[in-house]
A and B are shown apart, each in its own frame.
Chain A
């Protein structure tokens, strides 16, 4: 079967859990920015957790179904409607052949995951159906969806409607959002005072926030420890000899605006990094809207691993709830 795109939304892409193994040649992981939400949406409609779904940013698409299917919308609070009748988020519902799925305005969060029973059945490229738009790779023709596209959908039995994830198991960023990070990488490049105010300051998500990275502004500029720049690094004190960038790494070009790299990360470059957001908090970044207040919170490796375990337990409880 297929789903016909009437309106594409702002930037709606096909995403699964990503494409590991090619970062060494500059092809990033891609995949859903909020993986917990993506997995939950899939489970609600009876798919495997890693099936391909749609990731819609800020605004939902309008989709016409050519067959009956079960659908669930998770992540951002982007209320769905079937032929104009409201449906719940985080809850499975049926869409009949010929019916249209549309969305109200965004109420909370930034990215909604729309899972359809059977999964979006675009061809897997390098082992994944995720879209990497910068490289025109994977997903639906390597790009965001457009009006007139016919999205292929796989065969799925489809779970029954009305299955829901309890509210306490839906994770969302607080206000201000707290992003836990492990200092490191080139942390030694900034002064002790700069290190202190980096954590004290309230930052705001800049409009330049996408799948490649999230930029923050509003905090005080970071002062550098003076040094003679190493050969090949470039003249700015924030430059390093071009190196690999970890997912979640926080680079601060010129010492002014931190950028946290995400699932479509550029794999390397010449800017120093102060550390890395821990894996347990990466999902939260995908739900931050521009102008949202955020703080960076220093943690130890032990705390990072504990947070990761807590995140895994949350997912286990979510699975058990279905």
Chain B
């Protein structure tokens, strides 16, 4: 892992922790971001951790870019010693796979897809050697996913599947981005999953939809009263496959303010996870169910 620094104009410094994605690179980005926040450097206005990189925005009238760079390099040294342990939350997100809304959308943009003759799930199952739609749902929902970045648009989580690289689902983005994606679509591009927080353009494959809102600028939704975005980097997501009936019931409960998000505080330790991923994931899933 080699850290690379670059100025982003006169107001940003971009720090690439690694060229390729790994949980190690993510932890480095997260611990650097936390250390920059803690250092309370005058002039810093935004601290953004990302999948395998991070970025700081600053006011060059307050701190010169060269001085900012020096601060960051010193912080990198200290952050390298930080243990890869974080306080996290495991959150259950119900998903209606193969739903009618993303299906209607993906049919509308079929000519922009790698394989116009199959659906996004069928295509992704095939190129990942999974046993059709059912095999895909089993692989996708069978293990937890790590929120390795929040962004693109307000509150959108990027999700990293918590398994060995060789078992990770990978799928290209659409050949040309769509101009439309339903709100709360569960998507996938490269090795990353996501949940589209708002309706809009997008290039990720579309697998399903969740009835659980993750962004509410009016903060009327119960689990978004404290803050308008649900996810933060370091959260863990468990997908729960649901049918149409449960989807409708959950959507109605959300509407009435009666939906309660299933969520538990957990501690995540990367070294322990690396020793036994399947065992560690089973424990995480157990924690969600109060075991």
Binding site for B on A (CB under 8 A): 20-21, 23-27, 125, 132, 134-138, 142, 181-182, 184-185, 230-235, 239, 241-244, 246-249, 266-270, 273, 275-279, 301, 304-305, 308, 312
Contacts and interface: CB of A to CB of B under 8 A. Distances in A.
A231 B48 contact: no
Interface in B183-205: 189-192, 197-198, 200
Interface of B: 6-12, 14, 16, 18-22, 33, 45-55, 57, 60-61, 64-66, 149-156, 158, 165, 172-173, 189-192, 197-198, 200, 215, 217, 228-229, 231-232
10 contacts: A25-B150, A26-B156, A243-B14, A244-B14, A244-B53, A246-B8, A247-B12, A276-B8, A277-B9, A301-B66
A276 B49 contact: no
B48 A267 contact: yes
B10 A21 contact: no
B10 A26 contact: no
Given A26-B152, A136-B217, A279 B191 contact: no
A146 B25 CA distance: 46
Nearest to B55: A244
A243 B155 CA distance: 15
Main secondary structure of the interface of A (DSSP, over half): mixed
A182 B9 contact: yes
B46 A278 contact: no
Contacts of A244: 14, 48, 50, 53-55, 151
Contacts, number: 180
B19 A23 contact: no
Nearest to B230: A25
B10 A182 contact: yes
A142 B57 CA distance: 25
A266 B46 contact: no
Contact of A24 (B65, B151, B153): B151
A224 B254 CA distance: 48
B55 A246 contact: yes
B190 A239 contact: yes
Contacts of A239: 190
A114 B60 CA distance: 29
Q: Sort A-B residue pairs by CB-CB distance and give the 7 closest, nearest first.
A: A232-B21, A246-B8, A276-B9, A230-B20, A267-B151, A26-B151, A244-B55
A160 to B, nearest CB: 32
A23 B60 CA distance: 18
A226 B33 CA distance: 31
B20 A268 contact: no
Contacts of A132: 154
Contacts of B49: 24
A246 B57 contact: yes
A134 B200 contact: yes
Given A241-B20, A246-B14, A26 B154 contact: yes
Contact of A181 (B9, B153, B197): B9
A275 B14 CA distance: 11
B131 to A, nearest CB: 24
A135 B51 contact: no
A24 B19 contact: no
B217 A270 contact: no
A247 B8 CA distance: 8
Given A185-B8, A246-B57, A241 B21 contact: yes
Contacts of A20: 45-46, 57
Contacts of A304: 9-10
Contacts of A269: 152
Contacts of A136: 198, 217
Contacts of B192: 232, 242
A235 B172 contact: yes
B216 to A, nearest CB: 10
B162 to A, nearest CB: 14
A230 B55 CA distance: 20
Contacts of A305: 10, 60, 64-65
B259 to A, nearest CB: 21
Given A137-B217, A234-B190, A243-B52, A27 B20 contact: no
A276 B7 contact: yes
Contact of B198 (A135, A138, A278, A308): A135
Contacts of A277: 9
A246 B13 CA distance: 9
A302 to B, nearest CB: 10
A277 B229 CA distance: 30
A278 B10 CA distance: 6
A71 to B, nearest CB: 30
B121 to A, nearest CB: 19
A270 B189 contact: yes
Q: Which of A138, A241, A273, A276 has the most CB of B within 10 A?
A: A241
